Amino acid sequence: MTVNRILFGRPLRSVAFDAAVSGLVAFFAVLGIFAENGGVASTSVGVVMALVLLFRRTHPSAVAAGVAVLALLQVVVGWGPLSYDIGVLIALYSVVKYADRLRDGVLAGIVAAIGVLLAAAQMPAQAPWWAGALYYGLVTGAVWLVGLNVRTRRLYVVSLEERATTLEREREAEARAAVAEERTRIARELHDVVAHSMAVMIVQADGVRFTIDRDPDTAREAAKVVADTGRQALEEMRRLVGVLREPSRPEPADAPAAAAERDGGLSAEPAHRRPALVELPDLLDRFRAAGLRITDATTGTPVALPPGLELTVYRVVQESLTNALKHAGVGATVELRLDWSAGAVVVRAVDDGRGRPVVRPAPSGGHGLVGMRERVGVYDGSIAAGPTLGGGWRVEARLPLPSASGTEEGKAAA
């Protein structure tokens, strides 16, 4: 675990580095107290320059101006270039790298060029002045260019970070929108299920009213159907209210896939029609026609499911095959299994990932993994999705079945 220590509102490492740089300049100033021109006075100027450099990151332009004034003072009194003048180069580098506007760095470069000429004019007469000017100019120009390069890279990294932050926000927004849209779709379908159940109850209740005197056995059977349908509708209504009340849970990892997976043009399903499991063969045929090689198998004994749960199983199969067609591609092989047991039905779809890109969109029932998670969660199920060792993709959803004991208890309570 990395702990970022802060000192004076800045990272401790930056403060320590700036203190070391300032100490180096002060060391050169003290070291030249006897060996260079100016003695104690020039050393004092060097120490002040070192102290000013402590603020080179936070106030680069002001530091560059202060160092320039100190260097001008050095030129005016005639001390000539001194060892602590390395602080001038540090200030030049800092203003080019850290200033808010590059204009400050350009202005500092112009001032530094004038300083180079002045410093060359004060060099000893043994060497021509232009040689000193060339030497100081090359060093100063190299420092300025290095600062510009580092500034460019720093701004580039900052722009990448801002872009990544923006994309992350967009992905989260898309994920939330996809979940909200899928919840609306689920709620609409569950509403249709409840409405259908209520219609059945009304018809059966009317039948009981007309047959209770003439055929009591038929009336009792119809009343039982009304009670069972009512319990089922009440359970579906509870799930519908749960879908509407729960806050949206975005899935960042699946947001790109969720945003991309819209209903495709191959879907033969009307907008407000509720499909059933008996239509799975037709669904598989449509995907085979789209280019998938599907092998399907069923283990265990299928049982009658409540309409909402039956719809969920259908949608999980549909979205699993849609993902396989979109991501594994045309020609991919998909193994589809429905495992029925006393407590749950398990839908398992595994593709080999060895297809080619699709030419046209695939039939879809919602928003891919986001939609499957939302639908399975409504019925307290679980879903696992991820890559396989062979390079394909695996989706496995487990949906609990209504317990027989629970049904009997509900009947007794009624």
Place of tokens 């332009």: 61
Number of folded domains in the chain?
2
> Structural domain of residue 385, as residue ranges?
174-413
Q: Evaluate whether residue 205 is within a structural domain.
A: yes
Report which of 270, 263, 272, 268 is spatially closest to residue 281, judged by C-alpha positions.
Answer: 268
Paired tokens of 122:
């004060």
Q: Evaluate whether residue 325 is within a structural domain.
A: yes
pLDDT at residue 382, as a whole number: 92
pLDDT at residue 362, as a whole number: 47
Q: Is pTM beyond 0.75 here?
A: no
Four-CA torsion 393, 398, 399, 404, nearest 10 degrees: 150
d(CA 130, CA 411): 106
Report which of 379, 364, 124, 332 is spatially closest to residue 261, judged by C-alpha positions.
Answer: 364
* CATH (domain of 235): 3.30.565.10
Last residue of a domain, one of 92, 122, 152: 122
pLDDT at residue 264, as a whole number: 42
Burial of 95: CB neighbours in 10 Å, binned 0-12, 13-18, 19+: buried
In this structure, are 183 and 106 located in the same domain?
Answer: no
Q: Evaluate whether residue 149 is within a structural domain.
A: no
In this structure, are 94 and 180 located in the same domain?
Answer: no
**CA-based torsion, 123, 124, 130, 136: positive or negative:** negative
In this structure, are 210 and 300 located in the same domain?
Answer: yes
In this structure, are 203 and 116 located in the same domain?
Answer: no
Distances from the Cα of 42 to the Cαs of 31, 74, 113, in angstroms?
11, 8, 22
Longest dimension (CA), the chain: 133
Q: Evaluate whether residue 299 is within a structural domain.
A: yes
346 strand-pairing partners: 339, 398
Place of tokens 């045309």: 330
In this structure, are 238 and 343 located in the same domain?
Answer: yes
Paired tokens of 138:
């090359």
In this structure, are 347 and 207 located in the same domain?
Answer: yes
In this structure, are 115 and 36 located in the same domain?
Answer: yes
Q: Evaluate whether residue 128 is within a structural domain.
A: no
Question: Residue 230 gets which letter from DSSP?
Answer: H
Q: Evaluate whether residue 406 is within a structural domain.
A: yes
In this structure, are 392 and 331 located in the same domain?
Answer: yes
In this structure, are 52 and 186 located in the same domain?
Answer: no
Q: Evaluate whether residue 189 is within a structural domain.
A: yes
Distances from the Cα of 267 to the Cαs of 275, 309, 319, 364, in angstroms?
12, 21, 12, 7
Last residue of a domain, one of 122, 145, 166: 122
Q: How, if at all, do strands 344-351 and 333-340 pair? A: antiparallel
Radius of gyration of the CA atoms of the chain, in A: 39
Q: Evaluate whether residue 164 is within a structural domain.
A: no
Paired tokens of 86:
């390395």
Cβ neighbors of 412 (< 8 A, separation 6 or more) are none
Q: How many CB atoms within 10 Å of residue 11?
A: 13
Place of tokens 């509708």: 233
Paired tokens of 334:
């998909």
Four-CA torsion 58, 62, 63, 69, nearest 10 degrees: 180
Last residue of a domain, one of 79, 102, 122: 122
In this structure, are 191 and 279 located in the same domain?
Answer: yes
Report which of 313, 400, 374, 310 is spatially closest to residue 349, judged by C-alpha positions.
Answer: 313
In this structure, are 190 and 73 located in the same domain?
Answer: no
Tens digits of pLDDT across the chain (414 residues):
444 577 666 777 878 888 888 888 888 888 777 666 667 888 888 889 889 999 888 889 999 999 988 888 887 877 777 888 888 999 999 999 988 888 888 998 898 888 888 877 776 666 677 777 888 889 889 999 999 999 999 888 888 888 888 888 888 877 777 777 777 777 777 666 776 667 767 777 777 777 777 788 887 787 777 777 777 777 767 766 666 655 544 444 443 343 334 344 444 454 445 577 888 998 898 888 888 899 999 999 998 888 888 888 988 998 899 888 888 888 889 999 999 998 999 999 999 988 876 555 444 444 577 778 888 888 889 999 989 888 889 999 999 988 643 443 343 333
d(CA 172, CA 200): 42
pLDDT at residue 1, as a whole number: 40
